[in-house]
Structure formats: structure tokens, C-alpha cells
Amino acid sequence: MSTGKPATTPNYRDLEDDEFRERIEDLRGRYADCDLCAYDCRVDRTAGEHGTCQVDDTAYVSTYFPHFGEEEPLKGHNGSGTIFLANCNMKCVFCQNFETSHEAEGDPATAEEIAEMALELEARGCHNVNFVSPTHHSPHLVEAVKIARDRGLGVPIVWNCGGYERVEILERLEGVVDIYMPDVKWGDDAAAAKYSKAPGYWSNVTDSLREMHRQVGDLAVDDTGLATEGLLVRHLVMPNHVESAKRVLEFLAEEISRETFVDVMAQYRPYYKAAEEEFYAEIDRPITETEYREVVDHAREVGLENLYLDRSMLKRGGSFGLF
């Protein structure tokens, strides 16, 4: 993690108008034969057809506000300006936001309206605009960034996704997104298929991580500690899946960068179907301190240098912080 640098201009401020418009047109066209995520459903969302994300070409926003629960480099003193998109391109049976991600609670929003939300969040002092579950509505969001940019938006764009992306689409986001924040859920394809309904997850997420890092590099923060650009990876440690977590950490250290900022999360609880169906009994409990410590110890063993950890699980006092 690069520290102490002066604030930089967000990438999208330098993207030429013609290039921005071409990106928007290209992405918009993909709604008609949808390949925006790794499911590659190929449905015509412009005609009202639904793929895995269960939504047509209308973007829905469930809520937006300054979020103080994100990592320190994102939330700072004034919060991360989160815009939660309804629906999701993954179907995690343990989703804590299932009302939004699975049951589509949200209001329709045009690119213009999303741009207004972004500008409002910046005006309220938020340090960035943080698109949550953005993948299936990337056309709207890229257009919203351009509209907001043209009206003066000047804070970083955070792409807060599940990692089940397509490299071809990520390439269209280069120069638009400043901070990629994938929640890398699994290092095990069988578990990904069972619990997140995401076939071929591991090959997709590893290719996506390589592309994200190629575009923005390791996480950089300014002299106030706020993130300005780079890759921030989250991994939620799951019960009975320590080996999956280890594989994720090994990949990051060996294939991406030992300086990757990794939030090793311990807050798993069995929400939604994980708490209701016997088929998912393996994940029907919180993780143990032993599981968490084993994962953290492995992260250190493989040489990861920027770990954001849950101190309460390590009996170190406080809540969260870099170790």
C-alpha cells in the first residue's frame, strides 16, 4: 500500500469525452444480448427478459447514504458514499442483504438520477462514490459517472463487486473506476457453485483480479490516509472452509502482490437460506476464533503485508485495523 501521497485526480476526470461516450454506447448495447457478468446469460434485457440477476435494463437503487462501516481508507471521517444497487449477479444463499440482492427491493433510477445521488453524497462530504453490487448495471453507472463528472464530481469511484466479472467488461471500466473492491468469496469452485450459485467462480475471479490490478495497482492512500486508487480485496472467512480462504490468500500473494490490501473478515452469520435449509448445514454457524486465526496466520506466512483484521477475534482489543 502506497502511503503519504498527495491527493490525486480521479481517473475519470482525464477520460476523453469521445472515449467515455463510446464506452457507454458499447455497454448499453450489451443489455440486448447480456454478457455483463460471468454468467453470460445472453438474454435480451431491453425486451424485458431476465437472466440470473432477475432484472431487465432498468437500474434499481435500494438506498444511498454515507457509510461508516467500510474500511478506514474508504470511510475516513465523513463516510463512503455508498449507492446500493438492487439485485445481484450472484446468488449467495447466506446473503445478509437478501431483501435487496435477491428480492429486488429498490426504486428505478436513471443514469441522470444516479449521477445526482453521487453529487449529493460528495456535497455531504463523502470521500468517494461507492457502487455496491454494480456489475449487472455497469452501463447505467458508467453513464452516471460521466454525467456527474461533467457537473464537477471529483471523488474516487469505488467498484464494490463480488468478483464474478468478465475481463472484457472490466476493460471497458478502465479509466472510469479508481478503486476496485471485489469481495472474493471462494477459492473453491464446488463451494462457489453450491453456496453462491456461481459456476467456474475461481477462474473468473482470478482473471478479474489480474485485470483489476493491472488497471489500478496496489491501494494508494493520500497523506490523510484516504484511498485514492488501487485494489482493495475483501475475503469473508466461512465456517468449515479454511482451505478455501488459504487458497485465496496464496493467490493474492503469489499472483497479484504481497502489498495487496486484504480485509480478512470474520463477521459471517448464517442469514437467508443458510439458516433455514439442511442442505447448507455446513455453513449454519459463525466462524470460530480458531478458524479465523488459522487464516490470518496463513496470510502472514505467505507474505501479505497489508492485512485489515478483526481485532476482536484476535483478542487484541478495539475493532478493526491494519496489522
Is 34 annotated as a binding-site member? no
C-alpha cell recorded at residue 39? 454468467
79: left (phi over 0), alpha (psi -120 to 50) or beta: left
**Beta-strand pair 220-222/80-85:** unpaired
Nearest to 232 by CA among 254, 188, 264, 201: 264
Residue 127's identity, in one-letter code, is H
Any long-range contacts for 11-14 (C-beta under 8 Å, 24+ apart)?
11/157, 11/175, 11/176, 11/177, 11/178, 11/216, 11/229, 12/145, 12/146, 12/149, 12/157, 12/175, 12/176, 12/178, 13/149, 13/154, 14/175
41 annotated binding-site participant: no
Query: Measuring CA to CA, how many Å separate 141 from each of 14, 88, 177?
Result: 17, 14, 10
The binding site for [4Fe-4S] cluster consists of: 88, 92, 95
The binding site consists of: 88, 92, 95
